[in-house]
Amino acid sequence: MGIELPEADDTELNMTPMIDIVFQLIIFFLLSLKFKTIDQRIESMLPKDRGLAATPTFPEDFLKVKIKVFRRDMDDKEKAYTLVKIDNDQRTFSLPRGWKGRLKETPERVREYDGKIGAIRMIVAEKMKAHGGKADEVKGEIVAPPPKGGAVPHGDIIQVLDVFLNLGMLDVVFEGAATPLTNRERAARAGSK
């Protein structure tokens, strides 16, 4: 004999109260949770010298050797010469007057020219040695201030550059530009050629 069971209505579990309790527990834990102060900091390696709030950075100590070159007595080609000043001290060197280039000069004049460039190299080497002798910590600067600096022959500028390069100083900056010639100066140069 079997017992007949009544047909059961579809029973459903009501999830709304359980979801309400879970959300209340989440809110409670979020509001009552406190982190340690060490955990709140985020360590990062961001650049300090760029951005909205840049931190001023101080450059490393380095020696800056400035050599200024001027052209003197430009009116007469036989008397024209290049004047070289090292830094702001009283050391100046006059390269030979009327210098035509290494191939067109006598051996005595070439030795005189090389002697002046050698003396400039020795002074720069002394400055570098006094700073510690490290060439990578020395910055070179060649300045040809207008208007007299713009007329310095290319060979003289290269010789000054070679002074820095021969001592191992590769960080060299050039400053100065030739001022534009006036129409009178252009005509005078064209007439002299």
For 95, other C-beta atoms within 10 Å of its C-beta total 22
**7 compared with 162, residue with greater pLDDT:** 162
- Inside any domain, residue 139: yes
- Inside any domain, residue 91: yes
> Among 136, 130, 131, 132, which residue's Cα sits nearest to residue 164?
136
Rounded mean pLDDT of the chain? 78
> Among 155, 145, 142, which residue's Cα sits nearest to residue 179?
145
| Total of domains in the chain | 1
User: For 29-56, what is each residue's pLDDT tens digit?
Assistant: 988 887 666 655 666 666 666 666 666 6
> b vs e for 135-165, b when ≥16 Cβ sit within 10 Å of the residue's Cβ?
beebbbbbbbeeebbbbbbeebbebbbebbe
- Inside any domain, residue 189: no
Residue range of the domain that includes 84:
63-180
**26 compared with 8, residue with greater pLDDT:** 26
- Inside any domain, residue 41: no
* Per-residue model confidence (pLDDT) at position 176: 64
User: For 159-174, what is each residue's pLDDT tens digit?
Assistant: 888 888 888 888 888 7
- Inside any domain, residue 104: yes
Structure tokens at 158: 């290269």
- Inside any domain, residue 82: yes
* Per-residue model confidence (pLDDT) at position 18: 92
- Inside any domain, residue 58: no
Structure tokens at 31: 């509001």
- Inside any domain, residue 132: yes
